A and B are shown apart, each in its own frame.
Chain A
Amino acid sequence: GENVEQHPSTLSVQEGDSAVIKCTYSDSASNYFPWYKQELGKGPQLIIDIRSNVGEKKDQRIAVTLNKTAKHFSLHITETQPEDSAVYFCAASTSGGGADGLTFGKGTHLIIQP
């Protein structure tokens, strides 16, 4: 089955700096790659996603890049703010998303230092 590796497990950055979280996947058939943000005591919330026919997608301060050849994708957050502090999960799917669920990375705890 699919295996998703996520790095780093903890990332501390100064407020205003950029943060980058990287994931690799094993199944070349994967075609959908969402990123989730999870705040303490809450369920994961989708923040951005990308599909295999696109190399990059941006939404305000958040961007995701996908390299299908290398089988890795990354989350980029620019101009970080205190409210960006949370755990971020990457995921991959071979069914385009929800039909048979998502395979998640183990998460990155992002800490924004004031």
Chain B
Amino acid sequence: NAGVTQTPKFQVLKTGQSMTLQCAQDMNHEYMSWYRQDPGMGLRLIHYSVGAGITDQGEVPNGYNVSRSTTEDFPLRLLSAAPSQTSVYFCASSYSLTASGGAFNQETQYFGPGTRLLVL
């Protein structure tokens, strides 16, 4: 398995340009998420999906769109890039297992290698 893959690894945009960050996983995971990582801020959740056709907003969704047409892919779209979107973007996926007795779900997130985005 390749795990979670992200493309491109690095991108430079001008303010106002649009682009799509690609994320794919080959582990048949139900859940996928996008995070951004900024110095001193840790990782913050942008959008997430609990399955194909289902997406929801995280902590910092403004300026980003997502869709989930297949289980494998979860692209992140920047419609009009701004300098404030300069960051490192990580995609993550996770599976869900019901613990013995159905007490609660067990989910472990696996992260991709990241995309470094610079908006000028």
Which of A's residues lie within 8 Å of B, judged by CB?
1, 6, 31-32, 34, 36, 41-46, 49, 51, 53, 89, 93, 95-107
Contact = CB atoms under 8 A, between A and B. Distances in A.
B40 interface: yes
B96 A99 contact: yes
Interface of B: 4, 31, 33, 35, 40-45, 48, 50, 56, 58-59, 90, 92-96, 103-114
A98 B31 contact: yes
A85 B116 CA distance: 22
A100 B31 CA distance: 8
B33 A34 contact: no
7 contacts: A6-B42, A43-B113, A97-B105, A98-B31, A99-B31, A101-B58, A104-B44
Contacts of A104: 35, 42-44
B103 A53 contact: yes
Residue of A36, A43, A98 contacting most chain B CB atoms (<10 Å): A98
A36 B114 CA distance: 15
Nearest to A42: B113
Nearest to B50: A99
A98 B112 contact: no
A43 B111 contact: yes
Nearest to B113: A43
A10 B111 CA distance: 23
B66 to A, nearest CB: 12
Contact of B33 (A1, A46, A101): A101
Contacts of A99: 31, 48, 50, 96, 105, 107
